[in-house]
Amino acid sequence: MADRRAEVLVTAAELHRRLAGPQPPVLLDVRWALGDPHGEEHYREGHLPGAVYVDLDTELAGPHEPGAGRHPLPDVADLQAHTRRWGITRSRGVVVYDNSGGLAAARAWWLLRWAGITGVRILDGGLAAWAAEGFAQATGTAAPQPPSQITLSPGHLPTLTADEAAALPATGVLLDARAGERYRGEVEPIDPRAGHIPGAVSRPTGENLVAGDVPVFRPDLSERFADLAGERVGVYCGSGVTAAHEIAALAVAGIDAALYPGSWSAWSSDPDRPVETTP
């Protein structure tokens, strides 16, 4: 498998050089974590100079609908309006980041590519990597970007419906990107039922990162996913957010994968869907 790290990730040092160039990328700050509604406050306390704050719940997800999960895909017209306000064009490129190793920013990486924007990369290590290099941060709110006229269209990356996710283990591999204890059904802190989709394989997203103060993507992702070479791969998590991080890690390893957007939040809310637990 070919390592495609440079297509998916950018280091803090490389980004710093690009920001000093004639056509710097658009920076999106996707500060979000489950149970922490203060992402914008964190952004104002310190962010990459020129970065635009993006609200994951309202700008990278559609409104809640019964059976659609906690973070359904947004309407592409709404996403287009946001990307125009963020100043995204076809030529500048985009870098997304957060302060959690890309676990939230990967949602923006996946969603923008799903909508047809190429040249999107994740800042490897996020804000921690930027700070570790000693690069300056800005506070407050960045000046508005010049609006663009970019046009988006959906479907440029593969997705799975609930029925397709159910069928995939018979012909390929369905990865559950949640923590192992949630996969096994030992705990379920937020969704209606505990357990996992029958036939799914546990591959926790958190294990894609190097533990430490700067949570960069592991250097051995090709080895981590070597057993998936040549397989049809799908991924889900709790609500389709951290599964995007798993898809990014798989992409680094040279493996393309489909996202089940509704993920466990949609599956577990349907009483007709079976649930499997692991002792």
Q: Please write the tens of the pLDDT for every residue from 101-147.
A: 999 999 999 999 999 999 999 999 999 999 999 999 999 998 888 88
Domains of the chain by range and CATH? 5-132 (3.40.250.10), 162-267 (3.40.250.10)
Q: Copy the structure tokens of residue 236.
A: 């889900």
- In the prediction, which pLDDT does 2 show? 63
What pLDDT was estimated at residue 34?
78
Going by pLDDT thresholds of 50, 70 and 90, the confidence category of residue 204 is: very high
Residues marked active site are found at 237
What pLDDT is recorded for position 53? 97
Two tokens at 46? Answer: 């310190």
Give start and end residues of each alpha helix (H) in the chain: 5-8, 12-19, 39-45, 56-59, 76-86, 105-114, 126-132, 162-171, 180-184, 221-224, 242-252, 263-267
Is it the case that residue 3 has pLDDT exceeding 90?
A: no
Q: d(Cα 274, Cα 270) in Å, to the nearest integer?
A: 9
Helix, strand, coil distribution of the chain in percent, nearest 5: 35, 15, 55
pLDDT band at 44 (very low <50, low <70, confident <90, very high): very high
* Per-residue pLDDT tens digits for 150-203: 999 999 999 999 999 999 999 999 999 999 999 999 999 999 999 999 999 999
pTM score, whole prediction: 0.96
For residues 122 and 109, the answer to whether their CB atoms sit within 8 Å is yes
Q: Are 133 and 192 in contact (CB under 8 A)?
A: no
Helix, coil or strand: residue 222:
helix
